[in-house]
Amino acid sequence: MNRSIDRLGPRCPERLREACRYSLLGPGKRLRPVLCLMACETLGGDRRLAIPFAIALEMIHCYSLIHDDLPAMDDDDLRRGRPTSHVQFDEATAILAGDALQCLAFETLLRAELPSEKLIEACRLLSQAAGAEGMVAGQMDDLWAEKHGGDAVLLASIHARKTGAMIRASVELGVVAAGGTTKDQDIMAAYGESIGIAFQIADDLLDVESSVENTGKRTGKDQERGKLTYPAIHGIAASREKAERFVAQAEEVLSVYGSKAAPLQQLARYIIDRSH
């Protein structure tokens, strides 16, 4: 990831470069890149071929965090235990850093040493997951629900797009890198959808039950802002049960791969057991 930022030439302003580096290289779980590499390995692929895809996923994720944290969106001043990008730099620089990372993601993806048809498919998967029917759509409806409210159906729809779409794309890109079949794509997509929902439920629960020391960001803000969350709609106990069921589904759908799927199954369990 650091080398990807270093590839930006002299026409890139140094302040913009450092703002991109600040968000991309900051502390984090790197969940989406890890999912991509693990999916590739599960199917017997060479993880080295998937590394550009993995980096592109993290760039898109970081761009979305920079923009989500802005005052016009979620208005957060702490992310991953550090000041958010617009606090560390300024709002305009943060917006431009997010823009730059989004473009750099696709440039990086296209560096993968794979046939052109695979690169085209990878671009399609990533752009759809991140765009106006995926992550961006989920964020739009999330902001709308803060002001107008919503129900369990809208909640599920928001998080399937805002969080789930990129998590699903992460394993789907791993399939592309490994040269997997249509059946592999269907299996990994089902896995990604299940853990995407489980991840968001766990995030919602952490906002209610954890602390800023554990999460590296402000907690309790979802309730303050009137956000549509799983604990708000279903309650804490029922939300935890739902997360458990989705993880069990994710583990089961991968059983066709036998012991090769163990890392992805363990990662699914980590998603709801984590404390940050």
* Helix segments in 69-115, DSSP class H: 85-88, 91-109
pLDDT tens track for 222-238 = 666 678 899 989 999 99
184's tokens: 């592999």
126's tokens: 């990533």
pLDDT tens track for 145-189 = 988 888 999 999 999 999 999 999 999 999 999 999 999 999 999
Return the CATH number at 187: 1.10.600.10
Number of domains, the chain? 1
* Helix segments in the chain, DSSP class H: 2-6, 14-24, 31-42, 47-68, 85-88, 91-109, 116-130, 135-148, 152-162, 164-178, 182-209, 212-215, 221-225, 230-234, 236-253, 262-273
Residue range(s) defining the domain that contains residue 207: 2-273
pTM of the model: 0.92
pLDDT tens track for 67-107 = 999 999 989 999 878 999 999 999 999 999 999 999 999 99
